[in-house]
Structure formats: structure tokens, C-alpha cells
Amino acid sequence: MALTHIDPQADTASVRRISILGATGSIGKSTTDLIRRNRERFQVVALTANGNAAALAELAREFEAELAVVADTGALEDLQRALAGTSIETAAGPDALCDAAGVPADLIVAGIVGAAGLDATLAAVRQGTLLALANKECLVCAGDLLLAESERAGTRLLPLDSEHNAIFQVFEADNADDVEKLIVTASGGPFRTWSRKQMASATREQAISHPNWDMGRKISVDSATMMNKGLELIEAAYLFPVAEPDIEVLVHPQSVVHSMVAYVDGSVLAQMGPPDMRVPIAHALAWPARMQSPAARLDLAAIGSLDFEAPDLERFPAIDLARNALAAGGGATVVLNAANEVAVNRFLDGEIGFLAIADTVARTLDQVNGYDIRSLDDFRALDQESRAVAQMLVKSNS
């Protein structure tokens, strides 16, 4: 797998040219905060957003980017107006997003949310750029394709997700055969102690109020259903040479231990830190060196005790939906992701209840027959079919 082939001799002395896909989002903001504090180490090349032209233009001006791209063509005029009088190039649309990912850089942060980021992330990998991957849906939808392309281009994937970044930090690539299991920790989300009955009437505001992390809306809802952990389980299976049955999920409400690797001699190596995405992002931005991050320092004496518990798979069926889709193969994870994106959006729009999210995913998986994803066209066809079925199920439910 990609991470075991990483060349630790990567150049860290010179200024890193960096592009950020999804610069205006939560991952983008944490990344630009770190760059702002370490200006001498980075030169910003390309920045992208969906439709938030004002925020993108502000970042592009601040960091003197070479290129600013909005995915939504309707936002181009605003972007051009906001960047008038500068030498920053502007463009819009899905192809322009891929062009932004193709501009030569030393590191690209993949921080778009959802499968919408797949084309641009693939474009980044194809040109051989070191990729710091937060956009987990890319691996869930096209993991084989992404890894094959990164192998072909001789590039590397650095995980930004705190759990996978933690595993990356303690995974002994030279002793991969001696790894017994990966233990992916989960906060349990805002409804960790809620009954199914309580969850049935959970509001959007309650679902996006994560107890430990400040994140975008989609991943916050995924954390509440624990689908996020399911997606991460799939992500881990692609990033590390460990099979699905040996990847365990462990609930840890404090989000201090970000994940662990257990070895055959009984040793368990963990990475710890405050629940602040600037820690794993700083690790990836500076890799294989380290850089300063402003995150609060871990004070274990103040925290006092750390708790762990097994996930409740009855109350949180999304974990097994993801595990089963991964085990089934044949595109089932594409169906899972597409149905989840549709259902989360409908929940955020107030059209369905919280429990209907996992239910819609389960029913879509029952109805759509997957197939192996060998190309982007394969992915697009299955993704569209799954979204159509999920939409239909949501409509017939509401």
C-alpha cells in the first residue's frame, strides 16, 4: 500500500509550494492558519472553493496565490471582481478545479468535502505531487484507482484525518507483517449516550454540535451517525496493509488518543494530542520534519482519566454498514458513500429525520448492485445510480 513506500528523504529544507483544494472549509482554515504562522516555509500556489468567492479572494490576496478557482461557475464574476487589480489568475468549473490541482506544487492539501473532490484529487495524484488527504470520500469511492495512480506517478499519500495521521505516525512500515491490528478511536459524537428514541427527534443543530471537534457540517453529521468512523475504517484499509477484520473501532470520548497500532509482541503504540486538526495538518505539512503548531499542549494531569468503550453497533448501525460494504467490495462503498451524502444533505435541509440517514444508506445498499470501479467513468455511473435510488427512497419516505 502507498504509505509503506514513502521516501523519508523528501526535501524539507526549501520553501514548499503548496495548493489547497477546499481552502475556505474547516480543513482549509486550519491549513491556512498554520501557513500564516510559518510564512517563511510556504509559498501558496493554487486555492479553490465551491461558491464562497469572497472568502477565497481574501485568502488568495493574503497569501499572494497564483491561481484562485471556484467550482461553481456562477461565482466566477464575484471572484474576478474581488481580485481585480491583482495578478492572481481566476477560473471556474470542474475542469478548472483539476487544472488547479495540476499546477506544479510540492504538496497539495485535499480538503474538499465529499465525492465532489475526487476528480481534482486524482488530478493532483497523477502529476506526482505529495498529497495530504483529508477528503476521505475519495478513498471510499475510488481507493483502488487512487492508490494505483499514486503508485504509477510515484507519489505519496499523507493522511490528514487525525486517526489515520496517528496510525501513520506509529505504524512501523518495516515491521508491517508484525502488526496485529489497528485500533481506530472514535469520540462517539454528540449522541454517544442517547437512546434510539432520543436520536429519532435529534435536530440539525444538535447533530452538528460535536463535543470535541469544530468541523464542517457534513463530517459533523457523519460523526453523529458514526458513519464517519465507518468511512474511516474503509480509509484505513486502503492506507495501511491491514485487512478489514483487523481494524477495530474503539470509542474514546475525550479524543486524546487519536488511534493505535497493536503489534504481535503485545505492544500497543498510540499517538496522542489535543483535539485540534492543526496537529495532524502540521505533521503532514512539515513531513518528514516537524513544525510549530499553536495547538494547546496536552495536559494529562488536568484531564485526569481517559475512557474507552466498545461502540454500540445497535444504536449506530452505520459502522457495520460501512464494514460490510468494504468486505463486500465490488463498488459497495461507492453506493454507501453516495447514499450517505444524499441522506446527510436531506437531513441538513430538514427533509428527513436523523435515524433515516443510516436507514436510507442501508436500503440503497439493498437495491443497487455494485461493480468493480476500474475507471472514473465506472465510478460516475455507479455514484449517479446510487444517488438516484437514495433520492427516490428519501422521497417515498417523506
Cβ proximity to ligand NDP: between 49 and 199 the closer is 49
Q: Is 90 in the site for ligand NDP (CB under 6 A)?
A: no
Is the distance from CB of 21 to CB of 108 less than 8 angstroms?
yes
Taking the complex as a whole, how short is the minimal distance between the CB of residue 252 and ligand NDP, in angstroms? 16
Which listed range, 39-47, 77-85, 105-113, 146-154, lies at the site for ligand NDP (CB under 6 A)? 105-113
Count of residues touching ligand NDP (by CB under 6 A): 27
Q: Is 212 in the site for ligand NDP (CB under 6 A)?
A: no
Residue from 92, 96, 112, 393 binding ligand NDP (CB under 6 A): 112
Q: Is 189 in the site for ligand NDP (CB under 6 A)?
A: no
Residue from 16, 17, 136, 258 binding ligand NDP (CB under 6 A): 136
Is the distance from CB of 4 to CB of 176 less than 8 angstroms?
yes
C-alpha cell at 70: 471556484
User: Quick one: DSSP state of residue 208?
Assistant: T
Is the distance from CB of 319 to CB of 311 less than 8 angstroms?
yes
Diameter of the chain by CA atoms?
63
Please tell me the distance from the alpha carbon of residue 46 to that of residue 127, in angstroms, as a whole number.
15
Q: Is 27 in the site for ligand NDP (CB under 6 A)?
A: yes
Which listed range, 38-46, 178-186, 216-224, 281-289, lies at the site for ligand NDP (CB under 6 A)? 216-224
Taking the complex as a whole, how short is the minimal distance between the CB of residue 131 and ligand NDP, in angstroms? 13
Computed on alpha carbons and rounded to an integer, the radius of gyration of the chain in Å comes to 20
Residue from 18, 46, 88, 219 binding ligand NDP (CB under 6 A): 219
Residue from 47, 111, 147, 239 binding ligand NDP (CB under 6 A): 111
Is the distance from CB of 309 to CB of 251 less than 8 angstroms?
yes
Burial tier of 265 (Cβ tally within 10 Å: 0-12, 13-18, 19+): exposed
Please tell me the distance from the alpha carbon of residue 64 to that of residue 76, in angstroms, as a whole number.
18
Burial tier of 37 (Cβ tally within 10 Å: 0-12, 13-18, 19+): middle
- Pattern 269-308, binding to ligand NDP, x per CB under 6 A? --------x-------------------------------
> Among residues 385, 380, 379, which one has the least CA distance to residue 367?
385
Taking the complex as a whole, how short is the minimal distance between the CB of residue 30 and ligand NDP, in angstroms? 7
C-alpha cell at 125: 495524484
Burial tier of 266 (Cβ tally within 10 Å: 0-12, 13-18, 19+): exposed
Q: Is 135 in the site for ligand NDP (CB under 6 A)?
A: yes
Q: Is 44 in the site for ligand NDP (CB under 6 A)?
A: no
Residue from 35, 49, 282, 322 binding ligand NDP (CB under 6 A): 49
Q: Which residue is nearest to ligand NDP (CB)?
A: 25
Binding site for ligand NDP (CB under 6 A): 22-28, 49-52, 71, 111-113, 116, 134-137, 161, 213, 215-216, 218-219, 277
